[in-house]
Amino acid sequence: MKVSVYAPLLSRLLAGPRPYVGTLVGLVHDDRAHVLGCLLDHVEGGTPGVGSELLDALPGGLAPLGVAGDSDGRLEELALLSTVISLLPAGAQRAVVLSVSGGEGEGEPEPTAALFLYGDGELERTEFETFGAEQLRAQTVLLRLEGALSLRCKPGCEPLAEAFDRLKRTLDSPVTCFVQPEANRLLRAQDDESAPEGSCSELAGRRSAGRAQALFKLMLQRTGLVESRPAGGAPVIEYCRGRQQLVDLTLPISCVALVAAAAPLAQAAAALSEAALRQLAQLRTVITDVYREKERVVPAEPLHFNPEECGHYVTLVYSAASDDEKLESYRRNVHAALLLAADRPLFRRANRHRFDDQSPFLTNVHVGLSAPRQTAGQTALVRGTYVYHHYMQDRMDDSGWGCAYRSLQTLASWFQRQGYTGRAPPTHREIQQCLVDIGDKPASFVGSRQWIGSTEVSYCLQHLYGVESRILHVSSGADLGSKARALLRHFNDEGTPVMIGGGVLAHTLLGVAFDEASGEASFLVLDPHYTGAENLTTIQNKGWCGWKDGQFWDQTAYYNLCMPVRPRCV
């Protein structure tokens, strides 16, 4: 069996905390194991906790493939793989063992990874390849499943358990079907014989972010199948009149699965079935835990998250009884288990991934642009998602005076999209009212067409969102290149967009490229003065978002840069 490892995962494993042991998860197809993720076990030593609840948070189709850990002198410990081997997917006869060593202290060599295959009680070292995000998207199909299940039972932990058991048996039977409306296709759970011929690549109805996707609807067949029951008696119906309490709750099903594009269609049905069963297990855990605490059934909602560092989606179920503050410790555990830094929110409700984003405005319009003119040196860009706000949006004619307002809206959208706040970007009037409320402007400022600058933008970010900013002063546009190092540090450390104002114009900076040897600098500029339609081709081709050299700026005007500092939190 050949093995390939997702490159960003390998980087996280090499830089991970010591000591650690975790479960490797991924796909197996055509005698090759593709390792996509790792779930850390927080119990030092021993067999990895593959039964942890986070395994249910992974897409259907991803399965335990082996273990990873810092194994200096502990390789035998990592070889205790009986639990993992029992859960290996079909086609994986041996478990993968990824061992990290070195790099723990000053003067130590850089950490390295060695890979072994474990089977029949023996470890065999083998070579492995790495692959990146583009290759992953090109070779897989993302399957989405939407639907609902009805939970009906008497109140109580035992009736709840029995009701969830019934739903599990239903999902794990041939009465469960997956319908793809776009292709008029039906796949049936637990029925490989009736699966149509072909590969999963045929399922792709559309592409999103470079990845093939297919949407399925969950359907339970009510007629035409006879459910197997033990023989030996006739059904008896007992009719009793009276009043009693009944739990009647609709469980939302929204799950994802990942399959190799070249895999047979039967694997798609199996992956969707696995995804539905995993989500039912999550709903059961969350709803039952809340019932034990509050003695009432509270709805719960599955939310999808897509951290850029991961090669897969993470689906978590949050109860309506728990707000983001109450879930903070749980989110920290999720960050730690997935080897993700705990300095930015990734799993708040506001971080949820929306597959069908109905926003009328464009996001991340810099993606797809050519590299800056100079190829040498360093480049640093905004990290995360922002919304491009510009003149004439929201039926607001602010041409000639609202550029800084629009830049502030773009900055605010970044904090909203990254989950730091649930508050939408402020309107022009809300910005003006904020400046009046803090005493910076007179009451007559509200409703006016007066400009604002970088300092006012920083005031609004602090007052409305609790975000602090650094103000960088530049004596002239000709001197902006001397601040390239400071901008590099900002985009590498903070990753937030920057508002720059000078003369009578304001712009948004999304990145910087700087060649230390020549001193040449280029700036990725997002221009809020655009007045056209939401057309990405026009915006990029006409330079409304693009790389600009130092001559773009007014060589004699004084500039201030508002550089927001992101809070360190989860």
Catalytic residue numbers? 403, 527, 529
Q: Under a CB-based contact definition with an 8 Å cutoff, are residues 565 and 494 in contact?
A: yes
What single-letter DSSP state applies at residue 33?
Answer: E
Q: Under a CB-based contact definition with an 8 Å cutoff, are residues 214 and 180 in contact?
A: yes
Nearest CA-CA partner of 396 in 417, 373, 427, 360: 427
> Quick one: CA torsion of 532, 537, 541, 543, rounded to 10 degrees?
50
Tokens standing for residue 77:
């410990």
Please name every residue paired with 80 in a beta bridge, in sequence order, or none if there are none.
none
What single-letter DSSP state applies at residue 426?
Answer: P
Helix axes 157-171, 265-294, angle to 10 degrees: 170
Distance from C-alpha of 414 to C-alpha of 384, rounded to nearest angstrom: 7
> Quick one: CA torsion of 338, 339, 344, 350, rounded to 10 degrees?
-10
β-pairing verdict for 32-41 and 21-29: antiparallel
Please measure the distance between the N-terminal and C-terminal CA atoms of the chain and give it in whole angstroms.
39
- CB burial of 1-18 (b: ≥16 within 10 Å; e: otherwise) equals bebbbbebbbebbbebee
Nearest CA-CA partner of 454 in 531, 540, 564, 379: 564
Q: Under a CB-based contact definition with an 8 Å cutoff, are residues 511 and 366 in contact?
A: yes
Contacts of 271 (CB under 8 A, 6+ apart): 59, 60, 61, 143, 257, 258, 259
Distance from C-alpha of 231 to C-alpha of 236, rounded to nearest angstrom: 14
SS3 515: coil
Distance from C-alpha of 463 to C-alpha of 186, rounded to nearest angstrom: 53
What single-letter DSSP state applies at residue 564?
Answer: E
CA angle 541, 545, 551 (to 5 degrees): 100
Tokens standing for residue 46:
């021993």
Contacts of 68 (CB under 8 A, 6+ apart): 13, 21, 22, 23, 24, 38, 97, 98, 99, 100
Distance from C-alpha of 502 to C-alpha of 517, rounded to nearest angstrom: 28
